[in-house]
Amino acid sequence: MPSPTPVELGIFFGENRMTTRLISSALLTVCTTLAATASQAADFDTFKKAAAAGETKLNFRYRYEYVDQDGIDKDAGASTLLARLTWNSGAISGWKVGVEADYIALIGSENYNSTANGETDYPVVADPEGFDLNQAFIRYSGDKFTATGGRQRIVHLDQRFLGGVAWRQNEQTYDGVRAEYKPNDKLSLDYSYVMNVNRIFGPQDGAQPSDWRSNSHFGLAKYALAKGHSIEGFAYLLDFDNDNGVPNSTSTYGVSYHGAFGPLKVEGTYATQSDYGDSPLDYDADFYRFAVSAKLNPVTLTAGYEVLGSDDGVAAFRTPLATLHKFQGFADKFLGTPANGIEDLYLGVAGTIGKAKVVLTYHDFKANEGSSNYGDEINLVATYPVTKGFTLQLKAADYSADEFATDTTKVWFSMIMAF
């Protein structure tokens, strides 16, 4: 029987999540593929050496998340623990395999709506319980070229368009094939074809599907203009079969610039988006952002302006695969772009208090079309490294609604341990 290809592996993973049999089958399939495709035959001792040279990591993240949201009588209190086991083999003629498994456990009472537990009297905290296979891939790395097939983590730039949503306990990963090429020190090229998106709402379907069946292409090119200056071009052609009733099949093309001028850093991004694939919509919308930060010891000041435009209210610019929690406020009130688009003016200050890094940010939200004032938000995050591999973090968000959504306060306390 011939060994499955990396593409077949991606489909296999997408269709058969949440079973113990999956882990053993995935390991066997990946190792069989490795043996069949390696550039030279390898005996059993070679595989033993590759396994012995592998790296194993164990990570834990405990989090308590509190949510007080107007319009919902009960406050949410989600106490969860993420346990992650990661193993990557040593290399055989440039080939290696990797496997990563997550388990999210409820600690205490289930006083929150995970989107899968039916507790709809509480606000949403999208951290469902359960086991998930986060990654299972085969990878070839040469001098200038890297290819990966299977379930994998794919993150581009600052994750504004493509990310892993690693803030949530169940991470977003992708089933597909990826090719990365770096011909010289200045240029790098990155292309992925993705057949399935393993979303944060898994491992099983709930109010949101745990997977999006996909026929999508991701492209990124980066070029270093000079030291501290770079330009990036990107293209995201997203086509989903089951995107929970939201037409997220889109084509997005854009360019960004990052530059450093001494203590001053600037970033500018422009992108244009239209309907794509099976989308029932017919629209065009633009995205642009400009941000500047200045390091003025002992603090760093940041100011930015970001716009997700709209096409006469028909549809607005959307980024369904982004790590959205990083943008437009920690309260997550704009995970879906409003029909009239959004303008986000934000100001931030960062510094240290003892060993703790503290960041305070203010957001002012308005509609891109029309005169609606959506609301404003204050965010705070403090991160304290206790010892190597052990970190404490406190975050808070307070959204004050004007003409969009409802007043919401969120507080998070996390303990992160890595071994």
What pLDDT, on the 0 to 100 scale, is given for residue 231? 98
Does an H or E element contain 167, and which?
none
Quickly name the fold that domain 6-418 has: Porin (2.40.160)
**Token pair in block for residue 118:** 């039916």
pTM: 0.89
CA atoms within 13 A on the CB side of 26: 31
Residues with Cβ within 8 Å of 111's Cβ and at least 6 positions away in sequence, in order, are 74, 75, 76, 77, 78, 119, 122
Q: Cβ-count burial of 366 within 10 angstroms (0-12 exposed, 13-18 middle, 19+ buried)?
A: buried
What pLDDT, on the 0 to 100 scale, is given for residue 45? 73
Q: Mapping DSSP to helix (H, G, I), strand (E, B) and coil, where does residue 15 land?
A: helix
* Portion of the chain with pLDDT greater than 90, in percent: 85
What pLDDT, on the 0 to 100 scale, is given for residue 36? 55
What are the φ and ψ backbone dihedral angles of 33, each rounded to 5 degrees? -60, -40
Q: pLDDT tens for residues 252-296?
A: 999 999 999 999 999 999 999 999 998 999 999 999 999 999 999
Q: Mapping DSSP to helix (H, G, I), strand (E, B) and coil, where does residue 395 land?
A: strand
Distance of alpha carbon 240 from alpha carbon 361, whole angstroms: 34
Q: pLDDT tens for residues 291-338?
A: 999 999 999 999 999 999 999 999 999 999 999 999 999 999 999 999
Q: Cβ-count burial of 184 within 10 angstroms (0-12 exposed, 13-18 middle, 19+ buried)?
A: exposed
